């Protein structure tokens, strides 16, 4: 079984949450943290990330741990690959394409479309980097509800999340019988929930 952590938007394998989980889970779990920027943040799309991950994983069984936008990528990949056996989703941005215009603001979103690219602060690079408009167009073509098969899924989503409302995860979990939803008193980062998240991952490992 391979274990992969999929980081969020404008992040990197160096994220605090990813590195803390890797340290906590070792040596029992060798947590892989691929760089979903794929060496070219400007031209990043969900489609490129999914294609790369499919090639990277091959036919090996895997558990995916996805944070924010990485949670959406994990769900989309599980819809394509029956070899994905478990999901752990951390404040998953399941409605990312629909929510992004609201998060950016109407004027900023319109300027992005008109100019063809927009600068975003990249937390991995620790600087502002441009992102092409095609990122949003591509994101609109992906639907997390394409995941129709049942598989063990654990979701952590903070009740104080101001980026992605906890209701998004609650609605997604409602009709999925193997899903356990935890709604701690936390924000989008869930940094104060690392012990509980690690315990949930370890429980899946023990059950496998």
Q: What is the pLDDT of residues 27-65, one digit of tens each?
A: 999 999 999 999 999 999 999 999 999 999 999 999 999
Q: Residue 19 and residue 185: Cα distance in Å, rounded?
A: 22
pLDDT at residue 96, rounded to an integer: 95
pLDDT at residue 67, rounded to an integer: 98
**108-145 pLDDT, tens per residue?**
999 999 999 999 999 999 999 999 999 999 999 999 99
Look at residues 29, 23, 27, 26 and name the one whose alpha carbon lies nearest to residue 4. Answer: 29
Q: Write down the CATH superfamily of domain 2-207.
A: Alpha/Beta hydrolase fold, catalytic domain (3.40.50.1820)
How many other β-carbons are positioned within 10 Å of the β-carbon of residue 153?
24
pLDDT at residue 207, rounded to an integer: 52
Q: Residue 100 and residue 64: Cα distance in Å, rounded?
A: 24
3-state secondary structure of 49: helix
pLDDT at residue 205, rounded to an integer: 87
* Residue 189, token pair as written in the block: 């980062």
pLDDT at residue 208, rounded to an integer: 44
Look at residues 126, 173, 168, 128 and name the one whose alpha carbon lies nearest to residue 154. Answer: 173
Model pTM score: 0.96
12-19 mean pLDDT: 94
**155-206 pLDDT, tens per residue?**
999 999 999 999 999 999 998 999 999 999 999 999 999 999 999 999 998 8
Q: What residue segments make up the domains of the chain, in order of their start?
A: 2-207
The answer to whether the bond into 27 is cis (omega within 30° of 0) is yes
Structure-token match 């991995």, residue found: 124
Q: Residue 198 and residue 25: Cα distance in Å, rounded?
A: 7
Contact 79/85 with Cβ under 8 angstroms? no
Q: Residue 207 and residue 166: Cα distance in Å, rounded?
A: 27
């Amino acid at each position: 079984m391979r274990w992969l952590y999929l980081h969020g938007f404008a992040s990197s394998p160096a994220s605090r949450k990813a590195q803390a989980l890797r340290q906590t889970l070792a040596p029992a779990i060798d947590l892989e943290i691929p760089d979903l920027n794929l060496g070219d943040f400007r031209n990043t799309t969900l489609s490129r990330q999914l294609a790369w991950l499919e090639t990277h994983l091959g036919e090996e069984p895997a558990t995916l741990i996805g944070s924010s936008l990485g949670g959406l990528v994990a769900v989309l990949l599980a819809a394509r690959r029956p070899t994905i056996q478990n999901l752990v989703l951390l404040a998953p941005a399941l409605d990312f394409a629909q929510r992004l215009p609201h998060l950016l603001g109407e004027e900023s979103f319109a300027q992005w479309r008109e100019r063809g690219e927009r600068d975003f602060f990249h937390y991995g690079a620790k600087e502002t980097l441009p992102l092409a408009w095609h990122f949003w167009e591509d994101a609109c073509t992906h639907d997390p509800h394409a995941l129709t098969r049942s598989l063990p899924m654990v979701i952590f989503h903070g009740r104080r999340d101001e980026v992605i409302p906890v209701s998004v995860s609650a609605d997604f979990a409602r009709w999925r019988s193997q899903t356990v939803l935890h709604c701690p008193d936390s924000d989008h980062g869930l940094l104060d929930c690392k012990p509980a998240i690690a315990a949930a991952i370890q429980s899946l490992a023990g059950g496998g």
